[in-house]
Amino acid sequence: MRVKSFLVAALFAVVANATTNITWWHAMGGRLGEVVNQLADNFNKSQSEYKVIPVYKGGYEDTMTAGIAAYRAHKAPDIIQIFDAGAATIINAKGVVYPVADLFDKYGTKFNANDYISGVRNFYADSKGRMIGCPFNSSTPVMYYNKDIFKKAGIKNPPKTWEEFEKDAAKIKKAGYIALSQSHSPWIFAENFHSRHNLQLANKNNGFDGLATKIYYANPAMEYHWSKLRDWINKGYYKYYGRGWADNQQAFYDQKVAMWLGSSGSFGGLKKGAKFNFGTTYLPYWKKFIDKGAQTFIGGAALFVFSGKSDEKYRGINAFLRFLTNPKNQYFWHKETGYVPITKAAYELAKKDGYYKRTPDAEIGIKQLSLPSQKWTKGYRLGNYVQIREIMVEEFEKILNGQESAKDGLETIDRKADKLLVRFARTHR
């Protein structure tokens, strides 16, 4: 009985398996994961040759780790979502990925790098501007603030600069709240801090011109900022809820803190879950160090295609990527998640649809990304950066804890990071 039904099922499987499966490993959990599944569903329903199967592998680090392990075991998926910190590692690994620019060329998708907004374009491209990874979810750090608490504290507008923040924080403290929490020290208070203040991050043009060997986090602006953070902890203006993204966001949900620095991509979840009025605004900057805050760059991730797959699969991947970069789908992704529309066309579509008139908050991220670019607002391309971020978080924790001065902590980061960068450079000679 069992054998029979097994044979019948096998027969069906063989016949029905005319579709090519495309596995897509991603790091989008919770609500984001639902939208991912919806996108895949929509694509699968729109045609019958290919079936995209999204697989959630955990956070960005876990997804990358799983991808590396799978590749080494010759069991890599077809598409993988790799985040900003991992970009250098995967781009510099010889022969591991099939650059999307080449893929599009071969399978006939018209593709122009200039269709992408400037903050997005260069991050996943090679030195000649050819895209290796396909930007998918891009976000930038923005500030969310609790309008109700602001009202109680008697503050009309959210602070534009950190100087203004300090004044507001005192009022918020009086009203019985903590002024600030943030969810990602390296991304928000180091990488984008540099961008916002137009400060160089690493040598070799932030790593875009070659394998960088020196990082520049120990500088007067960072020292000032991190000393201030420690100061604010003592004053009760800022609280560090640990290194978990969700823990620091939870404080904002729980209405313990008035302002939260998160990602423009957090918008979707906040919209659904927050039980209070909140607003979105730009990431503050120090007027002391720059007159007008500069452009930030993208965080988030891109989709990379592994090499060594069949022609049939590449056709399918090509079709799927084209589907994803279609303005309509981009707009859908943007609306549902808060990630920025990465093509100009998608941005125009959203504007035309009146989306930003209805929800002006949703435009903050892309507006911040569209500020005029300056010398050091391009982002970075650094190897071993996942470990470097680990070091950064550890030293930052020591600074916030008062165990180290900001100067010492930042110098330690530079010293340790340089070692890792040199190691990476040596590996890829």
- Could you list the residues that contact another protein (CB under 8 A)? 29-31, 33, 55-59, 61, 65-66, 68-75, 89-90, 92-96, 240-247, 249-250, 254, 266, 269-270, 272-273, 384, 386-387, 390, 394-395, 397-398, 400-401, 403, 419, 423-424, 426-429
Q: Closer CB to another protein, residue 254 or residue 311?
A: 254
Count Cα atoms within 13 angstroms, Cβ side, for 212.
26
- Beta strands across the sheet bearing 134-139: 50-56, 20-26, 79-83, 299-305, 134-139
- Residue 126 Cβ, how far from another protein at the closest point, in Å? 17
Closest CB to another protein among 271 and 344? 271
In the bound complex, what is the minimum distance in angstroms from residue 212's beta carbon to another protein?
Answer: 16
Would you call 340 helix, strand, or coil by DSSP? strand
- Which amino acid is it at 22? I
Q: Evaluate whether 238 touches 179 at the Cβ level (below 8 Å).
A: yes
Nearer CB in complex with another protein: 36/221: 36
Q: What share of the chain is helix, strand, coil (3-state, %, to 5)?
A: 55, 15, 30
Report the nearest approach of another protein to the CB of residue 142 (Å): 16
- Residue holding tokens 């930007």? 135
Question: Nearest distance from residue 79's CB to another protein, in Å?
Answer: 15
Question: Which residue, 75 or 128, is less far from another protein as judged by CB?
Answer: 75
CB of 425 to another protein, least distance (A): 11
Q: Please say which residue, 213 or 377, places its beta carbon nearer to another protein.
A: 213
Provide the H-helix boundaries in 127-218. 147-153, 162-174, 185-186, 192-196, 203-206
Q: Name which of 371 and 421 has its Cβ closer to another protein.
A: 421
Provide CB contacts within 8 A for 165, sequence distance 6+. 159, 179, 180, 259, 284
The one-character DSSP state at 283 is: P
Which residues partner with 22 through β-bridges? 52
Which has the closest alpha carbon to 361: 118, 147, 137? Answer: 147
Q: Which is nearer to another protein, 152 or 243 (CB)?
A: 243
Q: Which amino acid, one-letter code, is at 366?
A: I
Residue 263 contacts residue 142 (beta carbons within 8 Å):
yes
Evaluate whether 268 touches 156 at the Cβ level (below 8 Å).
no
Nearest to 87, CA basis, from 290, 306, 385, 308 = 385
Q: Which amino acid is at 106?
A: K
Neighbour order of strands in the sheet with 141-146 = 178-182, 257-263, 141-146, 278-281
Q: How far is the CB of 89 from another protein (least distance, A)?
A: 5
d(Cα 219, Cα 407) in Å, to the nearest integer?
A: 8
Compute the least distance from the CB of residue 412 to another protein, in Å.
9
Q: Rounded to the nearest 10 degrees, how much is the dihedral formed by the CA atoms of 381, 188, 374, 383? A: -10
C-alpha to C-alpha distance for 319 and 329, rounded to whole angstroms: 13
Whichever of 33 and 236 has its CB closer to another protein, that residue is 33
- 10 Å Cβ neighbour count for 14? 9
Contact indicator for 274, 268 with CB cutoff of 8 Å: no
- Closest to another protein by CB, 141 or 327: 141
- Cβ proximity to another protein: between 30 and 154 the closer is 30
Smallest gap from residue 27 Cβ to another protein (A): 9
The least distance separating another protein from the CB of residue 331, rounded to whole angstroms, comes to 22
What is the closest distance, in whole angstroms, from the C-beta atom of residue 398 to another protein in the complex? Answer: 6
